[in-house]
Chains A and B, each alone.
Chain A
Amino acid sequence: MKRTLFSAALTVALALTAGCGSAAGPAAPTGDASGKLVVWDWKSGDAKAASYVAKAKADFAKQHPGVTVEFVAQPYDQYYTLLGAAVQAKRGPDVMLFNGGGQIRDRVADLVPLDPYVADDRSRLSGWDAFSKDGKTYAEPVTLQGHPVYYDKGLYEKAGLDPAAPPRTWEEFVRDCGTISAKTGAKCLALGNKEGAGIQFWLSAMGTASLTPQEYTDWIAGKRNWTSPDVKRVFELWKLANDSGLNTDGPNSTAMFNDAFALFQSSKAANVIGLMSDVGHWKDFAEFLGADKVGVMTAPQVNPAATPSLPYDGGIGYAVAKSTKDPKLAADLVRSLSSTDALKSFYADSGAIAADTSIDVSAAGPAVATIVSEVKTGKPALHVALSSKTLDLMGRLSQELLSGSIGVDEVLQQLAASDKG
């Protein structure tokens, strides 16, 4: 009898212990006015960003010496998955990094409008459009991200073309590509569309060469006419370029990041629509081709009524969570993360084009000088104005266009329906 009682009591105790172990502990607060701010991003874990983060922290500490700032670096591939789950569970950070465009626009319900806090930074920084929705601003730009057309001056020279005078129209572009292919064996365009990103760059680059200024302004404002012949032309050329052999082989199974860029920097293709900041950009290409061999041009003109220009937007920027205890405090941190001194480090170490246009970039080579000068006349990128859902669909449809299983008209119909919401 005693043995039975003891065994039963022990079992009950073990069961209760198991029960206690599975109970959730009390939710820890994400930060408070006099204590700590938590920042999530995918940058602070990068060695190239260490100096940038340190300077941003120093700038913030001057104004708020008692507040601790904790950076939590998340892997980029899962960043939005983790962020979405954390915000849903009310355990998100106070400040978080976003790409410009659809990702932040889809989540503005969880963010604080920053307009009351960032007035002093308006004129110093560029790229605000990418972080705005319905007239309100939700993040402050850190970098600019755009889609210049890079060309390999070395290949142009080998083909007997003047590297200082890149083609200005589509006809010239195609003719020059034919010359380059014949003389050097290189393809015209390095294209990676495995993730559906190639079409985004194409739309934004070639859109400036095809849409009239009015169509362009309407597009950015949300009045997009998918039946316009000028819009259709962009997608027709996407298919035409591939069918006529201008693109590198197998674009639907080539990753943009970084296989397509590798093709360009190894001179297997004479041109690529790349980026301005962080990756697939002038600094990467310069390491392989030489800084003086990296050329930058605006997209070759397709429509005489269009004025080709550099399409760019805010690339990344920090936002404030609605759930933060003190929005003003968090906004001050956001402003420190976009301070001139911090952005100088980001530019110098990462090769990012900083959102702060007052930073001197003259030592970085001709490609950067061209990019920065074109920023002045550049326009917001067309694809950044689209929602994540429409971009996702456009990626898939563009792959079908390349494989020949769908026509341009049907693509435009589906995109129009998706864009309408």
Chain B
Amino acid sequence: MPGYSPAPVDRAPARPAGRPAPARRAPRGTRLERWAPLVLVAPAVLIVLLLRLWPLLLGVNFSFTGDGDRNGTAVGFDNYVALFGDPLFRTALRNVGLLVLLLPVAVAIPGLLATFIHLKVPGHRVYRGVYFFPAVLSPVIVGTIFNLLLAFDGPVNALLGLADLGPVDWLGNPGVAIFTVVGVHVWATFGMALVVFLAGFSTLDSSLLDAAKVDGASLLQTLRHVIVPGLSRTIQFVFVTTMIGMLTSMFGLLYVMTSGGPAGSTYLPEYYVWIQQGQLNQPALASAASTVLFLIMLVVGLAQIAVLRRTGKED
């Protein structure tokens, strides 16, 4: 009821007349209690500082030194100049941009499937279990499976052949491979997002869906006006976690499926770091690439937090 407010209540009872004020507590106790929260928080803070932030600073510092003959020598921004002058690193950054563009697809797929499960299409109990299955597979297993399925002379091309379509070199064509790997990644990880969406649906008031049905809303209208607004916080959460996963968890798939190829077309900054440090013995350059990746994550993360906050205000 708008405008309604409960009657104000006394915050504290009046002290009975005549009784003396209680004595002040000992200063020693007060000081100890004031410091206790800091002491209790210290272990967690120290762990973050020592094992996360300090190594990060060391890494950033290392990125301003040289490799090979210049090992240990300060070189200013040479590594960053070399990074952005490397076509391979630019490809890696461009692929990050591509991942951001493909993000809506990676979120929409589990979202739609969760909607159908929630609306109880025939077989929804089976799908619920089946869709989560890929999420429990290791990326190496997933990569190996799809290497076989997507090989030039593999079953997928055999099926295309039956339909008189030309074979596609899914993993060997520079223009196609990145989409193939992203597709496999979405397949392998959408189960987790599906579970999050299903959890979100449990907080959606079912009477809203019933009301929409009574009013004759189509599926698309229900989706657009009831489900999406109702699950907006869930959608934002899935966006954030999916983006983080794409930027930091595709290494296994890349390594097994394409080795960053063909022609470097499926490099991501994470893979680039690994190659520069391990294969080409350029750890300082790899540190610079790590720093760039960290900054990318920071920007993307902050942007998404800002979006979350704005969404929260609308609620």
Measured as residues with beta carbon below 8 angstroms from the partner, the interface class of chain B is: 35 or more
Interface of A is mostly: helix
B 150-166 to A, binary, CB cutoff 8 A, 1 in contact else 0: 11110000000000000
A307 part of interface (Cβ distance < 8 Å): no
Q: Which of A11, A107, A196, A396 contacts B281 (CB 8 A)?
A: A107
Residues of B within 8 A of A402 (CB): 262
**Which residue of chain A is the closest to B281 with respect to CB atoms?**
A106
Q: Is the CB of B39 within 8 A of A15?
A: yes
B:118-169 near A, CB below 8 Å: 150-153, 167, 169
Residues of A within 8 A of B172 (CB): 194, 250-254, 399, 403
Q: Is the CB of A84 within 8 A of B263?
A: no
B 252-285 to A, binary, CB cutoff 8 A, 1 in contact else 0: 0000001101111000000000110111110100
Q: Is the CB of A249 within 8 A of B152?
A: yes
Q: Is the CB of A252 within 8 A of B173?
A: yes
- Known A-B contacts A22-B46, A22-B51, A253-B169; the reply to A400 vs B174 at CB < 8 A is yes
**Which residue of chain A is the closest to B274 with respect to CB atoms?**
A81
* A131 to B: closest C-beta gap in Å: 16
A359 part of interface (Cβ distance < 8 Å): no
Q: Is the CB of A1 within 8 A of B26?
A: yes
User: Interface-forming stretch among B2-10, B29-37, B92-100, B290-298?
Assistant: B29-37
- Known A-B contacts A12-B39, A396-B263, A399-B263; the reply to A250 vs B151 at CB < 8 A is yes
State A399–B265 Cα separation when bound (angstroms).
Answer: 10
Counting chain A CB atoms within 10 Å of each CB, which of B69, B150, B264 scores highest?
B264
* A20 to B: closest C-beta gap in Å: 11
Q: Is the CB of A388 within 8 A of B280?
A: yes
Residues of A within 8 A of B68 (CB): 106, 109
- Known A-B contacts A22-B46, A81-B274, A106-B280; the reply to A403 vs B173 at CB < 8 A is yes
B22 part of interface (Cβ distance < 8 Å): no
B171 part of interface (Cβ distance < 8 Å): yes
B42 part of interface (Cβ distance < 8 Å): yes
A28 part of interface (Cβ distance < 8 Å): no
- Known A-B contacts A88-B283, A403-B262; the reply to A392 vs B152 at CB < 8 A is no
Q: Which of A11, A103, A109, A196 contacts B71 (CB 8 A)?
A: A109
Q: Which of B26, B262, B278 contacts A80 (CB 8 A)?
A: B278
- Known A-B contacts A88-B283, A253-B171, A388-B281; the reply to A109 vs B69 at CB < 8 A is yes
**Which residue of chain B is the closest to A105 with respect to CB atoms?**
B281
* A47 to B: closest C-beta gap in Å: 23
Q: Which of B50, B153, B281 contacts A250 (CB 8 A)?
A: B153
State A7–B280 Cα separation when bound (angstroms).
Answer: 54
Residues of B within 8 A of A254 (CB): 151-152, 172
Residues of A within 8 A of B274 (CB): 81
State A254–B258 Cα separation when bound (angstroms).
Answer: 10
B40 part of interface (Cβ distance < 8 Å): yes
Known: A80-B278, A253-B177. 6 other contacts (CB 8 A): A4-B29, A4-B33, A22-B47, A85-B283, A109-B68, A250-B172
Interface residues of A (CB under 8 A from B): 1, 4-5, 7-8, 11-12, 14-15, 18-19, 22, 78, 80-81, 84-85, 88, 103, 106-107, 109, 193-196, 249-254, 388-389, 392, 395-397, 399-400, 402-403, 405
Q: What are the 10 closest A-B residue pairs judged by CB atoms, nearest first? A: A250-B152, A81-B278, A253-B172, A252-B172, A253-B171, A399-B262, A252-B262, A399-B263, A18-B43, A400-B263
